[in-house]
Amino acid sequence: MAGYILEITYIISVLLFMMGLKKLGHPQTAQKGNMQAAIGMGLAIVATLAFYTNSEGEGLGNFAWIAGGILIGTVVGWLSAKKIAMTEMPQMVSLFNGMGGACSALIGLLEFGPAIDSDVLIFAVVLGSLVVGTITFSGSMIAFAKLNGNLNKDIRLPYYNILNTIFMITIAGLVACLLLHNITDAVTWIYILFAISFVYGILFVIPIGGADMPVVISLLNSLSGIAAALAGFIYGNQVMIIGGILVGASGTILTIAMCEGMNRTLVSVVFGAFGAGGSTAVAEGDGSQGVVKETSASDTAVMMNYSKSVVMVPGYGLAVAQAQHIMSELQQLLEANGVDVKYAIHPVAGRMPGHMNVLLAEANVDYDLLVEMDDINPKFPTTDVVLIVGANDVVNPAANTDPSSPIYGMPILEVSQAAKIIIVKRSMATGYAGIQNELFFDDKTSMLFGDAKKVITDLVAEIKAM
């Protein structure tokens, strides 16, 4: 009877996972979807503790240790999620990916002993869980360090692609030898496999530049799902298998979408180290690329307030300044004065997929005002003013005009077609791709220098005073 209850509960949990995943595709239902998926996982955990029995009819033991782990994990996860700043959300996603990979790697390390002499398929799954989980863990920790600013220096080893390929071939060859039992002292070699996989995870992520981080996070998310599914196969746990497959599949689809949004292949992201250039600044009007025009909050407020249409382009700088709420207030003021306002969303703006959508949803911006790149681009020729706040590479015309540029061919927001362009930035520093933005020197562009939150607050005050 207990087995039937467990299976039925697992089915309910999987249905909740699928319903939650579907709702995560829209910001208006994402919170409810996240809650449904969490309830599904909670049901699966409780049912496993209460009703699981092995082939000998024995249930789980060590409930005190299990309860302690659940309690610690719940407290840490709850406090982290409550206190995390929006600018640090990509780091948290990377950390969660890494923890999922670490769990799968530990399962592989714990279960390889009994699996050595068992069915070759089971042994293959154990090794897969160990390898994929380890790569996900070490790679995610490097991604976390890069996003968190702990690893600012660009690192690119000589003959990096050759070195990476050697590691990949070594891992594949060692797994094949272990499966064919062509290695004596297999236990030692499994630990060597773990070490090589750990190093490969580091080498895999460490040279990848910041502009590719949304793709890397999506890829690591996919790998964490695959690792969880493999761990599920080890224990014959349907929830782990299906949950891992859902995460792996959705992560893969998102990774492909991110690559398409940058007009890049996954191979070029993994092996190209795109965006690894440093940040440089160009002084105003130094003549290197043209003359930079500066404007004031007062002039910008007048221009926006008496326009028919305004498009706001949010970027990572908006998240850094925590200016999403005041930007929403600016939008509401302009709408109250009869201005049509929209937000232009580039698929790779920010540091993780959907970063800008999440940021603006936090400020209760109506989702209907968020317009994706393909839909907003045809509207720029009839737009009076574009206000760019913290975005850089995703509006850089070099993607269309400069074949030598590392972002050449990447689809961008065609803001240069608007009548007037205002760019809010602290300085003339380059974006995450490490290249100068040609838009700064466009005749229709004016720079509004300063912290995004202060600048937009000044704009709000100016409009209120009119």
Reported as a single tens digit per residue, the pLDDT across 405-417 is 777 888 889 999 9
Q: For residue 90, what are its two tokens?
A: 């990509």
> Is 266 a residue whose pLDDT tops 90?
no
pTM for this one? 0.77
Q: Are strands 385-389 and 370-372 parallel, antiparallel or unpaired?
A: unpaired
Strand partners, 371: 344
> Is 277 a residue whose pLDDT tops 70?
no
> Is 58 a residue whose pLDDT tops 90?
no
Altogether, the residues listed in the chain come to a count of 466
| CB-CB neighbours of 97 under 10 Å | 30
Q: For residue 111, what are its two tokens?
A: 């279960």
Helix (H) or strand (E) holding 313: strand 309-314
pLDDT (mean) for 52-60:
72
Q: Give long-range contacts, CB 8 A cutoff, 24+ apart: 173-176.
A: 175/124, 175/127, 175/128, 175/131
Tell me the Ramachandran region of residue 354: left when phi exceeds 0, alpha when psi lies from -120 to 50, beta otherwise: left
pLDDT of residue 72: 93
Angle, helices 2-23/238-262, rounded to nearest 10 degrees: 10
pLDDT (mean) for 220-228:
91
Phi then psi for residue 342, to 5 deg, are -135, 160
384 DSSP assignment: S
pLDDT of residue 283: 38
Catalytic residue among 393, 402, 451, 458: 393
pLDDT (mean) for 275-282:
40
413-431: burial string, b at 16+ Cβ within 10 Å, e else: bbbbbbebbbbbbeebebb
Mean pLDDT of the chain: 85
User: Contact, 424 vs 456, CB < 8 A?
Assistant: yes
Question: What are the strands of the beta sheet with 445-449, ordered from one edge?
Answer: 370-372, 340-345, 309-314, 385-389, 420-425, 445-449
Q: Are strands 340-345 and 309-314 parallel, antiparallel or unpaired?
A: parallel
Percent of the chain with pLDDT over 90: 41
> Is 147 a residue whose pLDDT tops 60?
yes
Strands (E) located in 332-384: 340-345, 370-372
> Is 255 a residue whose pLDDT tops 60?
yes
Q: For residue 246, what are its two tokens?
A: 């859902």
Percent of the chain with pLDDT over 70: 89
Confidence of residue 384 (pLDDT cuts 50, 70, 90): very high
Reported as a single tens digit per residue, the pLDDT across 310-365 is 999 998 888 888 889 999 999 999 999 999 999 999 887 877 777 888 888 888 88
Reported as a single tens digit per residue, the pLDDT across 175-200 is 999 888 777 788 899 999 999 999 99
Strand partners, 53: 59
> Is 262 a residue whose pLDDT tops 80?
no
Reported as a single tens digit per residue, the pLDDT across 24-41 is 877 678 889 989 999 999
Q: What is the distance between the terminal CA atoms of the chain, rounded to a whole angstrom?
A: 73
pLDDT of residue 282: 37
Q: Outline where 52-88 has alpha helix (H).
A: 63-83
> Is 395 a residue whose pLDDT tops 60?
yes
pLDDT of residue 310: 95
> Is 137 a residue whose pLDDT tops 90?
yes
Active site residue 117: no
Reported as a single tens digit per residue, the pLDDT across 280-306 is 333 333 444 668 889 999 999 999 999
